[in-house]
Homo-oligomer: A and B are copies of this chain.
Amino acid sequence: MGNEVTDGRVVRAENMREQRRAEILHAAEIVFSARGYHNTSVADVIEAASISRGTFYLYFTGKDALFLDLIDLFIGRVIAVVTRVDPKQPNALSQIFANLRRVVDVVFDNRHLAVLVIREQVGRDPALDEKLHRLYGFLHEMVEGALVNGAQNGLNRSVNETIVATAIIGAVKEVFYQHLVLDAVQPVDREAVARSLFEFGLRGLLIER
């Protein structure tokens, strides 16, 4: 049937499929972020994407799967820009700030997805729970590790790293969320947001100042 050969038409078909899928994801991103998971129906998504009900189920196994794909998309983009920082390096601090700065960019470049991920909460859907747990677990582990390493290397004073890591993530999330809402009205000064967060966290953690 010729499907062993990946000829031009097959490639083109695959591309179109990918593109269509992306279109639906994009439309869904907007309606989900506007109304939340529960208040968004498949009807809303297909209307926003200008596709038929059937087509939707051609690209996604269901509403849940679509949502999880969106979450994954965002998580992937965040994780992609976060790099491990060696606390022994003299420029460790600026590397940490660079991480934060890149995350700020990802968040504000993906406003809808970011709102979605920050707002949507543990909601009795085990699969979604697991995704978010993975994201926050990753971030928490990274921050906590940085705190522990930093303390050992004289970069920061010793604190209850678990609690403080949680506090930092909460602070960042909340600032992001509030500014994402504001951002819809007027563009946010990303540098200022990153700088303020960094300063706030840092000045409390440094031994020397």
Interface residues of A, Cβ cutoff 8 Å to B: 1, 34-36, 38-39, 50, 119-124, 157, 159-160, 163-164, 166-175, 177-178, 192-193, 196-197, 199-205
Contact = CB atoms under 8 A, between A and B. Distances in A.
Contacts of A170: 170-175, 177
Nearest to A209: B209
At the interface, is chain A mostly helix, strand, loop or mixed? helix
Given A170-B170, A171-B167, A203-B204, A192 B160 contact: yes
A121 B119 contact: yes
A139 to B, nearest CB: 11
Contacts of A36: 121-124
A51 B55 CA distance: 21
